[in-house]
Each structure stands twice: as C-alpha cells, then as structure tokens.
Structure 1
Amino acid sequence: MDRYGITVPFDDIPLRDHPRWYALLAELGYSDVWTGEANAADGFTPLAVAAMAAPGLRLGTAVVPVYTRGPGLLAMQAATMAELAPGRFALGIGSSSDVIVERWNAGRFDRPYQRVRDTVRFLRQALRGEKVEATYETFAVQGFRLARRLAEPPPILVAALRPGMLRLAGREADGAIINWLAARDVPQVAAEVGPGKEIVARIFVCPTTDAERARQVGRMGIAAYLNVQVYAEFHRWLGREDILAPMWEAWSAGDRKAALGAIPDELVDELIVHGTPEECRAHIQRYVDNGVTVPVLALLPGAPDLEQAVRDLAPR
C-alpha cells in the first residue's frame, strides 16, 4: 500500500514528548499522522508539532467540527497548517455530534448536511485567497480574505457515513473520511463517493493476541459509538439491523451489561483489528483492497507497550 497512517497524539504521552514519536513513525515507514478533535487535544496543535519534528509525514485532521469554529477561523487554522507544511496537509471536516456541539461547546447542531456543504464551499474560496462575500444556507460571510497567501490550497475531505454526505464528499470535496465499518463494507461506501477520490479510513486496532481482551475493549467501543443515532443509521444502511437490534434494545432499556453481552464476537472481529502483527496487517490490507486509499490506525488499549505495538504494526 502507498499510504499508511496512524492516529495521534498518543494517549498518556505528553505532547511535548511527541517529536521523538513522530520521528520514529517516519523512520518505521508510516506515511501519515491524523488527529481527531473531541475533548482531548485540539486537531491542529499536534500536527504543528509533527510538521516540525518529521518533515516527511503527511498531516491531516480527521476530523475537526464545522460548528465549533467560525468559518473564518477555520480557514485561518487550515491555512496556517498548509503554510507550515506545504503540500503535506489535508483538512478533514465533519458535522461532529450534538454532544460535542451543543453540550460541550454551547452551539446549535442544526442542519448538519447543509452546514458541512456550506463550509466546504466557503473554504474553497477562502483558501484560494479570494475575498468571500456570500450568503450560504446556514451562515453568511461578508468581506473575509486571508491576509497570508498560500502557494497551494490544502485538499478538503469530508467525514461521511451515509449516502448523502458520502456523495457530497465526492462531489464537492477531495474525498471522504470514514470509520466504524468492516473491510467488506468499503465497496458500498466507496461507490457513493465515486471514482478518483481519496478515502481515508480510521481503523480501530487492539494490538494484542489475547482475543478475549480485544473483544472486551472492542465491545465497549462498539457500544459507545453504534448506539449514537448517526452510527446506528449507518449500520442499518450497511445491513446490520438484525445483528445490532438486541444491543440497541438493551441499551435503550438502560441495561448496559446486557447491551455489551448482545454484541456477537463475529461483529467485534469485523470492526476491530486484533491478533498477531501479521494478522493485523492482513486485516488492514483488506480495507485497502476494497477501496480505502489511506488506512489510519487508531490504537485501542490492549498492548502492554505502545512503542512495541507501533513497531509491530509498521508497514512492511
């Protein structure tokens, strides 16, 4: 595979200590580092550290929300990263969730499809250095222009799950960012994005040969995400309503233990990569074979030693 990424920053490693880790990733053959943004580090600062510590790495956000910054500030931060790492930065944006937008950031999670679409359209103009005077469906911008010009605007990718947002990613952006799906689901997703587009997939990896440990960790992740409405609808679209219905019913009834117990091993083994390093790489390769252009490992708790896991999972 041409590209092989990993999610940063690493848990329990102070950000000030990450330069050594970024240099190690580049040395081991990782091509990309991608950040998320929820309630830990912001999406841009760890990439700024990586830009200086490992000039060969490609950097990406997967993803930053479109609601938690004003359009102008989002363009400024993207432009700053693009200037710091010319040709090596990709901006991944998404709607995020009502929890992050409303409960944590006092915003309003309203018309997410339209807000993402409008943000892509604004960013296209702004990152080209154009003056933006526009009234979009979900916001208006009057007279914004970046004061620092970019030699090359960064690509924009959209976090997407179901057909509407996936088609938006293919039609108006440079590609899609996907997660919480099995390798066999990728063709269904990729068909909606269309040909010639980048497809970045965050792939959850529990780096251990202890299958029971991996399944325990995996069940907790599956329950935390697939009970959220947008992910539940995603998996209904993928055809998993029958297999997930018992978990959804138990979760809705407030029985968390029963919900975890209702998640079958086969589903965990599809959605969570685990096993020997060779088995993990083979599982990741299936995502690539089915249409993912950039696999991005997201390490789950399980390995006794983080550095060994990073080394073991490095591309061969």
Structure 2
Amino acid sequence: MARYGLTIPLDRIPLGEQREAIRRLREVGYEDLWSAEVGQYDAFTPLILANEWEPTFNLGTAIVPAFTRGPATMAMSAAALAELAPGRFYLGIGSSSDVIVSKWNASEFVRPYYKTRDIARFLREAFEGGKVDRKFDTFEISGFRLAQPPTVPPKILIAALRPQMLAMAGRESDGAIINWLSPADVAKVVPFVGENKEIVARIFVAPGVERNLLLDAGRRAIAAYLNVGVYADFHRWLGRGEALEQMWRLWDSGDRKGALAAIPEEIVDQLIVSGTPSQCKARIAEYFGAGVDVAALAVLPFGIDTYEAALSLAPGSSE
C-alpha cells in the first residue's frame, strides 16, 4: 500500500523543538519519516527524537553511507533504533558519493558497489545475533557479536541508480531507495530491482513557488547533484545525456553561470514536483502508479515555509 513520508529534520525549527510539528505530521496523514545524512545532522538522531515524540511512524534512513562508519558501529546504531521502533525501522544504506566520502569524511571511495553489498551482508549476519567472523571482499570482521541484537531486525534497503546496483539491491536487501528521477524514470528503474521488493523514492517538491524562482533555485539544486559522476552517469542512462551535455561541459570548464542557464526548463519540471498543492499531489500519485511504495518527500527551501508546505501536501490536507 502506498505511503506518504517526509524527509526530516524540518527546516527552520530547532531540532529539539520539533515535537509538536512531528505530531501534527502524523495527524494529517504522513506515515513515514526519513532522514538524510549529508551535511546537517547524522541519520539516526532525528529519527530517535521523532520516535520518542510520536511512536507510530515508520522510520528510515535515506541514506547512511557505507563508507563513513565502521561496520560494527553501523550495526550498533541501527540495532538501537530497531529496538526502539520494532518493525517500523528501515535501514537505508548506499555508496554515497566521492565528495561526501572522500572530501568530507577523509575516507577512500573505493569499490563502492562491493562495499555497499558487503555492508548489507554483514548487517544481516550481525542482526541475527551470531558471531561474525568473516572476510568479505572489501573488509574483514573478526569475532564481532551484537550483545543485544534487535528483537525485530530492521529491513535493509540499498540506494541504487543504474541496473547493476538496482539488481544488487533486489538480491541483497529488502528493496531500493531511488531519487532524482521522474515518474517515467521510475517505470524504467523498478523492474531491475525485481518483484516483491519495497521501493522508496525521495521526491523533491516545491509547492507554491513562483515560476522564475523555481527555475533559478531548481537549476542550482539539480546542478549540485547531476555534476557528481554517479548522477551524471545515471541521467545519461535514463536518456538525458543530450539535454544535459552542454551543462556538464560548461560546468567542467568552470563556467558555473553558463552551466546553470544550460539546464533546460523541462528538466526542472521532470525532476522537481511543483505547482499548487493539488497539482503536486497529482504528480506524486504518478510516482505511486509507476511502482513506488513510499514517497519520501523532500521539500526544497525555495523561499517557502517548508513545514507549511509539507502540511499542504499531506494526504489529509486540502487547499
């Protein structure tokens, strides 16, 4: 059954003061809360607080990078949250990017496909409660055991873009986390994951934003991601190579202003959900129709109150 989720923590509200806002989100129909881990907070703390304030949400990480925590540390962090929210916690992991892993976390971004796969395999073993004593392809674990394995192990999801990673998510985990794509792209992506797997899509939304501001800020947001190698390759595979080639060329030459201007208007409309709340909800419904199980909305701070915008997009809201 399709579920509406929201990316937390909420903007412009101090983390420790979000109790009433989180409770309100449940009242208007959100069922899931998903945390991102990029450059603001870690992935687990906002979910722990949300669970304390409103212990009925499904909770998920989208994502925890496979490189930035030791395997045992990741297992312990996930086990704690799984114990607090039994049957409601999804551990989303992924390779992340060379920028986050290498430039921000001083770790080597090496063999990301295999590292993510090995972390998923290790976590499954660790959550079962036995001793893990094994040499994986990308690391070796000697004698680790969770002293308190979770009563209900979390579902593991793998963030994936192209066919090889999508297929691996289907083989090695309970489903896939996808982002920066249109409903039509979802229909192309989902079959690679396979049947009976959960699909969580981070959907970037900007309801009620004035058109010129949407295009300007949207191009900046798109450029920040699509100039990262893994995302550039993803969108070439999706068929946007010709439309974005000039942007990539200008960006690589150092012409940032020209690169932003080169992003076609239709690309902004494909990748960012915008318009009135009703128009946005109709567009989100297209993602569900294409095979998404959980829409993890990420409200973009394009001159709007992101919390009020989130409320306007909730299943129980009306314009």
TM-score by length of 1: 0.98
Tell me if the contact between 1:206 and 1:303 (Cα under 8 Å) persists in the aligned partners.
no
Match of 1:79 in 2: 79
Q: How many Å separate the matches in 2 of 1:139 and 1:217?
A: 41
Answering whether residue 105 of structure 2 is matched by residue 105 of structure 1, we say: yes
Greater relative contact order, per chain length (Cα 8 Å cut-off, separation 6+): 2
Match of 2:207 in 1: 207
Q: How many Å separate the matches in 2 of 1:195 and 1:49?
A: 34
User: C-alpha displacement at 1:303, in angstroms?
Assistant: 5.1
Match of 2:186 in 1: 186
In structure 2, give the amino acid aligned to 1:57: F
The SS at the match of 2:3 is coil
Q: Give the CA RMSD over aligned residues.
A: 1.1
Answering whether residue 179 of structure 2 is matched by residue 169 of structure 1, we say: no
Tell me if the contact between 1:208 and 1:303 (Cα under 8 Å) persists in the aligned partners.
no
Match of 2:61 in 1: 61
Q: How many Å separate the matches in 2 of 1:92 and 1:303?
A: 30
Deviations 1:259-287 (A, max 9, x none): 11111111111100010000000111101
Tell me if the contact between 1:207 and 1:303 (Cα under 8 Å) persists in the aligned partners.
no
User: C-alpha displacement at 1:128, in angstroms?
Assistant: 1.1
Within a 5 Å distance, the mapping from 1:14-29 to structure 2 comes to: 14-29=14-29
Q: How many Å separate the matches in 2 of 1:186 and 1:310?
A: 22
Tell me if the contact between 2:179 and 2:201 (Cα under 8 Å) persists in the aligned partners.
yes
Q: How many Å separate the matches in 1 of 2:6 and 2:309?
A: 12
The SS at the match of 1:4 is strand
78-87 or 301-310: bigger deviation: 301-310
Match of 2:95 in 1: 95
Q: How many Å separate the matches in 2 of 1:178 and 1:160?
A: 6
Unmatched runs of 5 consecutive residues or more in structure 2: none
Counterparts in 2 of 1:151 and 1:225: CA distance versus 1, 3 Å = same
Match of 1:288 in 2: 288
Q: How many Å separate the matches in 1 of 2:143 and 2:136?
A: 14
Tell me if the contact between 1:217 and 1:301 (Cα under 8 Å) persists in the aligned partners.
no
Q: How many Å separate the matches in 2 of 1:228 and 1:307?
A: 29
Q: How many Å separate the matches in 2 of 1:287 and 1:310?
A: 17
In structure 2, give the amino acid aligned to 1:210: E
The SS at the match of 2:115 is helix
Q: How many Å separate the matches in 1 of 2:306 and 2:38?
A: 22
8-17 or 136-145: bigger deviation: 8-17
Match of 1:140 in 2: 140
Q: How many Å separate the matches in 1 of 2:175 and 2:212?
A: 36
User: C-alpha displacement at 1:149, in angstroms?
Assistant: 2.8
In structure 1, give the amino acid aligned to 2:278: E
Tell me if the contact between 2:11 and 2:307 (Cα under 8 Å) persists in the aligned partners.
no
Q: How many Å separate the matches in 2 of 1:96 and 1:306?
A: 25
Runs of 4+ aligned structure 1 residues displaced above 2 Å come to 302-308
Match of 1:245 in 2: 245
Q: How many Å separate the matches in 1 of 2:307 and 2:152?
A: 35
302-311 or 5-14: bigger deviation: 302-311
TM-score by length of 2: 0.97
Match of 1:274 in 2: 274
User: C-alpha displacement at 1:209, in angstroms?
Assistant: 4.4
Deviations 1:156-182 (A, max 9, x none): 000100111100100110000010111
Match of 1:9 in 2: 9
80-89 or 213-222: bigger deviation: 213-222
Tell me if the contact between 1:303 and 1:309 (Cα under 8 Å) persists in the aligned partners.
no
Match of 1:39 in 2: 39
Deviations 1:219-269 (A, max 9, x none): 111111111110000001101111011111111111111111111111111
